[in-house]
Chain A
Amino acid sequence: MTFEEIKKVTQILIEFLPNTLKLFAWTLVLSIPVGVLVTMLKKCRFKPISWLTNLYILIMRGTPLMLQIIAIYYAVPLIIASAAKSGKTGGIYDLLTNLKNNENYMFIALVTAFVLNYAAYFAEIFRGGIEAIPKGQYEAASMLGMTKMQTFFRIILPQVTKRVIPATANEVIVLVKDTSLANVIAYAEITMKAKQQMNLYSSIAPLFIAGAFYFVLNAVVTVAFAVIEKKFDYYK
């Protein structure tokens, strides 16, 4: 490829970079709180809820994210089609039809798949963090008359946060790269665009350029987490 062509490919990838970033940002912002929720459900004293949560985590971590994306993306139209065939209508089917006809349907399906998947991983990280806090911290708080809420938010959570930063950083780095899986349903992110350019120019250079994009993004993520980790460095 000529220098001009490389420049052109780079420009195209820059143009579609926001789609990659959008998927990354939405997944990150939603999957962390959902992960906290899943941790709490898993720790729920009502056993059936805890078991169901375990099953969910098992499936999400035990099967490929790519399959999950495809399944969620095609499930909605397939459900609607089979409902139409058997003449079923009403509430849920109208809702699904509306969802499918939404101009952002593809993005919604993608974010749903990513959040469900990543929340399962985050939940396990958070659970590990919570379980690593020594019992003595709860006992000291209780001896000081602190309520359960005060104990959790003032004593436990800050310490859990510090402990889960390295594992969370790992997950986020994987997430940057996993956004490329969205190309399986033809979401116009940079891997899909790079593949198109590869075919156009009969050259694998576009893939290297896309690779450089992920590399730079992850350099930023790595630095950001190093800064956060440093912020928590004031105690051991």
Chain B
Amino acid sequence: MAILEVKNISKSFDSLKVLKDISFNVDVGEVVAIIGPSGSGKSTLLRCINQLEKADGGEINVDGANMFRTENGKAVYAPSKTLRDIRLKIGLVFQNFNLFPHFSVTQNIIEAPVHVLKQSKAEAKSACNELLKKMGLETKGAAYPCELSGGQQQRVSIARALALKPKILFFDEPTSALDPELTGEILKVIKDLAKEKMTMVIVTHEMAFARDVANHVIFMDDGYIVEEGSPEEVFGNTRNERTKQFLQRFNDR
């Protein structure tokens, strides 16, 4: 069952067409990896799905609810109540974490459960402790983000997103801001989530990881999806010339 439907999305910044015609579905429990060269529009696509940018045209449905559709050539967004419901069903992990620096780790994680979902503090804290344990951060609840390593900060930000129990979790290059020796710990967390059948969409430059963890790989170039399929198809039996060149460059490293 498709929990996310993206149909014919287009998006321009002024005269620059960044997304030209993007369509794909994500099923429950699926892990989708989006790869592609810099500037191909991967972040913009995630930001449109996450309502951080407004798409110009197309249609997006999340968990059966319409987020926006195109009527008479204009994007028509759902009422703000629907948009808010949709927003709470999806989480986004940023490349540079975006933790709240003035909040401790625990405060970062319980902020939304307490102030948005109106859970009791006790309830939110016990859920938070569970998440911290899962992330291997059980001793860090009282620490502030500036006292943590990049890898630890990224794990906190994953915990913060998970605290809202999202149905889909998006990652935009979750390891790109990290020292190479720290990427492993994040990739492991994502792998563990995949084992629990968490639905995820991951933009990444870690080809080996994409191949390893994803059920479905999307290769984007210049605002289009130029190739997609199982990791075996995309990596093992590459058809598109652009994809071949792109992957070649990675293999050469």
- The digit string for A102-145, where 1 denotes a CB below 8 A from any CB of B, is 00000000000000000000000000000000101101111111
Binds A, one of B21-29, B108-116, B125-133: B108-116
| Smallest CB separation, A234 vs chain B (Å) | 6
Provide the residues of chain A in CB contact with B102, threshold 8 Å: 158-159, 162, 235
Q: How many Å lie between the Cα of A141 and that of B116 in the bound state?
A: 10
Given A143-B87, A145-B87, 5 more A-B residue pairs with CB atoms under 8 Å apart are: A134-B98, A144-B116, A158-B102, A235-B102, A235-B144
Any chain B CB within 8 A of the CB of A155?
Answer: yes
Any chain B CB within 8 A of the CB of A88?
Answer: no
Interface size on B, residues (CB 8 A): 26
Across the two chains, which residue of chain A brings its CB closest to B90? Answer: A143
Provide the residues of chain A in CB contact with B146, threshold 8 Å: 235-236
User: Chain B: residues with CB nearer than 8 A to chain A?
Assistant: 50-52, 84, 87-88, 91-92, 94, 96, 98-102, 111-112, 115-117, 144-146, 160-161, 164
| Smallest CB separation, B200 vs chain A (Å) | 15
| Smallest CB separation, A163 vs chain B (Å) | 11
Q: Are A137 and B164 in contact (CB under 8 A)?
A: no
Q: How many Å lie between the Cα of A235 and that of B101 in the bound state?
A: 6
Provide the residues of chain B in CB contact with A11, threshold 8 Å: none
Q: Are B94 and A144 in contact (CB under 8 A)?
A: no
Q: How many Å lie between the Cα of A183 and that of B46 in the bound state?
A: 62
Of A136, A145, A235, the residue contacting B94 (CB under 8 A) is: A136
Contacts A154-B115, A234-B144 given; does A143 touch B100 at CB 8 Å = no
Q: How many Å lie between the Cα of A131 and that of B216 in the bound state?
A: 40
Provide the residues of chain B in CB contact with A150, threshold 8 Å: 115-116
Provide the residues of chain A in CB contact with B87, threshold 8 Å: 142-143, 145
Q: List 22 A-B contacts (CB under 8 A).
A: A136-B96, A137-B98, A137-B100, A139-B98, A140-B94, A140-B98, A140-B99, A142-B87, A143-B92, A143-B161, A144-B111, A144-B112, A145-B84, A145-B112, A145-B117, A150-B115, A159-B101, A162-B102, A235-B102, A235-B144, A235-B146, A236-B146
Provide the residues of chain A in CB contact with B145, threshold 8 Å: 235
| Smallest CB separation, A117 vs chain B (Å) | 31
| Smallest CB separation, A147 vs chain B (Å) | 8
Any chain B CB within 8 A of the CB of A40?
Answer: no
Q: How many Å lie between the Cα of A134 and that of B101 in the bound state?
A: 11
| Smallest CB separation, A54 vs chain B (Å) | 26
Any chain B CB within 8 A of the CB of A21?
Answer: no
